Amino acid sequence: MLLRLNKYNVNLIYVPGKQLVIADTLSRAQLNDKIFNDDNVYETPADLCLLATASPTRWEELAKLTKDDPELDDVVYHIKNGWPDKINTRKYAKQFWHCKDKLYLTKEGLICRGSRLVVPKESRTDVLEKIHTSHRGIVSCKIKAKEYFYWPSINNDVDNFIRKCDLCQEYQRNNNKECLINHPIPDRPWEKVGCDFFELRGKHYLLIIDYFSKYVELQQMNSTNAFSVINCMKSIFARHGIPEVAISDGGPPFDSFALKEFFVEWGIEHNTSSPYFSRSNGQVERAIQTLKRSLIKADRESKDIYLVLLDYRISPSPDLASLWGPKRFSTDPQEIKAICLPRNFDICRATNRNWTTIRWCGVEVWRMAWQLSCSRHLVNI
């Protein structure tokens, strides 16, 4: 009672009896006449909504199934004869012991828990089919089931019934994501590349990205057939070198016989990403997302898309491997150099406590840094 009253902010005010025009129940005088007259008592029928909507034939069927159910037979016994301690309760009735105070037997022979019908075991599958008529989700069906029906394992039965529904499994959302397995980090630039197509403003583009330096090659394609892709790849690989691994999706033209022959002829291992799981080639997908956003904005501002591509290539990335990509060809824009760096400046580095001054020269500095990086991976044989 105290827990139920906690949600109310109660203020107790004393009111003298002479100010009470209409006396409340506790203030009424007790009648001396103790004669009880049955004629003044009227029986008020209280039918449950779930029973009122059922036909008499259905009542009789449920009553018969309740009577023949060994689990509910023990419950009926304790409803009529009282509930002992749980340890002395009949075997099948123990699972109803926690709600024994809410169980009662109707004149039709049905067991109810409050306003909910206790369903016999033989009718539970039929009830689940009726609840799942519109093929709603698990939560929605549980709410509907708990509003009208009860049996001890109702939650698990609703879960299992919906998970085994063939129609729901066929049309369910593809939002079950597998654990992402990262690609091994390559040891040098253009050892592993990813490639994919994307469309922008009605034009098709082929994007190839280096997994080590994040360097991007973007080529507008007049045709997306295998021979056009092969010629484009030959041009790009002639500039940067032949990769060992190329990753793409399994769609056309990457699944064509001509492209497979090209990869075999040039000694390139071709790996395809998993169907409906583009994250397995996430390096390309992320680059496409970023570049498309930049190109759309450049088109709105009437900027040259090649300057946008240049800016993307020289922009540093948070990961360490991409530090070698921007300086590879010393492609810093002249206006950025003029603002950020003097024309000539000294770079000092410590080598066995001897300081050596090295003059800035884009490609040479990058080459020195690249050699220092590669020396860490050398192994004495």
Give me the DSSP letters along 9-34: --------GGG-SS--GGGSPPPS--
> The whole model's pTM is what?
0.47
CATH 3.30.420.10 domain extents, the chain: 192-314
Residue 217 has pLDDT above 90, yes or no: yes
How high is the pLDDT of residue 124? Answer: 93
Residue 265 has pLDDT above 60, yes or no: yes
Q: Which CATH class is domain 192-314?
A: alpha beta
Statement: 40-171 belongs to CATH 1.10.340.70? yes
How high is the pLDDT of residue 56? Answer: 76
How high is the pLDDT of residue 221? Answer: 93
Taking residues 36-52, what's their average pLDDT? 51
Q: What's the mean pLDDT when you consider all of the chain?
A: 78
pLDDT one-digit tens code per residue, 330-351: 455 555 544 444 444 444 343 4
Residue 42 has pLDDT above 70, yes or no: no
Residue 190 has pLDDT above 80, yes or no: yes
Q: How far apart are the first and last CA of the chain?
A: 83
Residues present in the chain in total? 381
| 3-class DSSP assignment, residue 243 | coil
Residue 354's pLDDT band, with cuts at 50, 70 and 90, is very low
Residue 325 has pLDDT above 50, yes or no: no
Identify residue 71 by its one-letter amino acid code. E
CA distance 211 to 215: 8
Token pair 């930049």: residue? 294
Question: Which of residues 246 and 47 earns the better pLDDT score?
Answer: 246
Instruction: Provide the 8-state DSSP code for 355.
Output: E
How high is the pLDDT of residue 20? Answer: 74
Tokens in use for 330? Answer: 């010393």
Residue 109 has pLDDT above 80, yes or no: yes
Residue 228 has pLDDT above 50, yes or no: yes
Strands (E), the chain: 103-105, 111-113, 116-118, 149-150, 192-200, 203-210, 216-221, 245-248, 269-272, 346-351, 354-359
Question: Which of residues 9 and 94 earns the better pLDDT score?
Answer: 94
Are 281 and 249 within 8 A, CB to CB? yes
**Lowest mean pLDDT across 36-45, 73-82, 202-211, 289-298:** 36-45
Residue 377's pLDDT band, with cuts at 50, 70 and 90, is very low
How high is the pLDDT of residue 314? Answer: 78
Question: Which of residues 135 and 370 earns the better pLDDT score?
Answer: 135
CATH 1.10.340.70 domain extents, the chain: 40-171
How high is the pLDDT of residue 332? Answer: 54
